[in-house]
Structure 1
Amino acid sequence: MSKAGVEDIRKSICDIKLPLFLAYSDIRQRYRRSSLGPFWITISTGVMIVCIGIIFGNIYDSGVKEFIPYLAAGMIIWGFISSTINDSASVFINAENIIKQLPIPIYSHVIRLIAKNFYIFLHNFLIFPLVCLFVGRGFDLDLLFVFPGLILLILNLTWISLIVGIICTRYRDFPPIIASILQVAFYVTPILWMPSLLKLGRKFFYLELNPFFQLIQLVREPLLGRCPPMMAWMMGISLLFLGWILAIAIFNRYKSRIAYWL
């Protein structure tokens, strides 16, 4: 089997400064001449969290101290996941000129995409401490689990973005399908609502078998002062292992064809 994909990934990681710089340049170019830059996204996300928190908090009759931090953490993490996967549908298409003209490793464009969305995620993350300050919620040592959980989330998003990027480059009808899947996933995943609202018999399907929920748990639970459950770690690690095996197999086979599909 060809190892062109593995070699491309190796070169991309060795020269990781290039995609990181390009991601930073993408953000600067997008918000050029703007006084607040990416903080506009932070402001709009914060306003949405406040509005939804007040409305749904009253609907669910949930305490503000419990529900709004839960909602804020979920919305911020989901924003990172959904924007990354949505953007990955056009990651190679948008880089067509670079791929055809410059000898830059193709996987560098995936790293560039992840880094760009991670920069925006860090801006949005500033909302969470403000929410906790508003509701009078503190932090404890379980917060340290955020770092391994976030690393596991990012590593899973890298293989997902690679596979989605390859499929959507070959089949141009797939980006709307990806967007529709994410929209459905948003409503069936506990982000706007809390898992305690589900009946016991439905929790296994909506929670335990929901990969989005488990990946969100890895980061959200430490922010809420709880250690992520073992099921979340097992799901995250299993997805990482199996996903990268599939991604490498697909990338090894189709890496050389990406330029011809553009």
Structure 2
Amino acid sequence: MPIPKHLKSASADIAGALLHLPLVGLLAWQDVKQRYRRSLLGPFWLTISMGVMIATIFMVFGQIFDVSMDEFLPFLAIGLILWTLLSSVLSEACTAFIAAESIIKQLPLPLFVHVLRMMWRNLLIFLHNLVIVPLLFLALGKGLGWEALLAIPGLLLLVLNLAWIALVLGVLCTRYRDLAQIVGSILQVMFYLTPIMWMPGLLPEKAGRYLLAFNPLFHWFETVRSPLLGQLPSLQSWLVCGAMAVAGWAVALAFFGRHRARIAYWL
């Protein structure tokens, strides 16, 4: 059975973008440098801001929930760092093509390059924020076990899921500009429904089981956060993340292939 033309077009665009990874890295790094031009600490201002936010939230919610610092502080720190990556990628995905309008209209680059540029920029910021985690573990006298290595495939699954969602959002928000506001509102709701500032064990057993099982963000976070906390993620979380990545990319390829040629006209 021949491959549909739109799938070939989408696959060729994404493959071409991957061949331009050096250019993607250069553009993303220039974005970060430009944002903090003439700043003494550069992107590490974000790390300082993240550290202050983690400490402030811990002082408030640690007292409210009456949980120990050794248990709650690493949970909170990793959750907030992951949330910052997720929310930044999905928010900026809405303008990935719009922000690159001049490049799209002047240079014949694969369109997925602009999504990769946005994602790589936020991954660089994520790596700056991630410096907080080993410093925090050192201050608490905690160590990392072999389970921490599982955070690497967990992060890869998270990035794969964010990539296909970012691609779909980039196309949709280029056509329908008001969707960016809806995405922002949904992210605000999901922040409170996802165990970031609260721990899953605080929920009632029955309500917690359903709230967490049907929250994809919980599973994305668990495959990264649990190994860093010395725990093994559940098989359910791995299966949910893997299934979403496979099904999501199948949908994204079909959707991107059908609308790829129209993106330049929507700008």
The TM-score range, normalised by the shorter chain, is: over 0.9
Given the alignment, which residue of 41, 54, 63 partners 1:49? Answer: 54
SS of structure 1 residue aligned to 2:56:
helix
Deviation at 1:194, TM superposition (A): 0.3
1:178-189 counterparts in 2 under 5 A?
178-189=183-194
SS of structure 1 residue aligned to 2:255:
helix
- 5+ residue gaps, structure 1, are none
Deviation at 1:175, TM superposition (A): 0.4
Residue number in structure 1 paired with 2:165: 160
Residue number in structure 2 paired with 1:16: 21
Preserved contact between residue 69 and residue 131 of structure 1 (Cα < 8 Å) = yes
Residue number in structure 2 paired with 1:206: 211
Residue number in structure 1 paired with 2:257: 252
1:145-156 counterparts in 2 under 5 A?
145-156=150-161
Give yes or no for the alignment of 1:114 onto 2:119.
yes
* Greater than 3 Å deviation, 4+ residue runs: none
Given the alignment, which residue of 92, 96, 100 partners 1:95? Answer: 100
Q: CA–CA distance in 2 between the matches of 1:84 and 1:146?
A: 19
Aligned length: 262
Residue number in structure 1 paired with 2:68: 63
Residue number in structure 2 paired with 1:126: 131
1:63-82 counterparts in 2 under 5 A?
63-82=68-87
Q: TM-score, normalised by structure 1?
A: 0.98
Deviation at 1:204, TM superposition (A): 2.6
Preserved contact between residue 65 and residue 136 of structure 1 (Cα < 8 Å) = no
RMSD (CA atoms)? 0.8
Q: CA–CA distance in 2 between the matches of 1:121 and 1:228?
A: 21
Amino acid at match of 1:197: L
Residue number in structure 1 paired with 2:175: 170
- 5+ residue gaps, structure 2, are none
Q: CA–CA distance in 2 between the matches of 1:99 and 1:19?
A: 14
Q: TM-score, normalised by structure 2?
A: 0.97
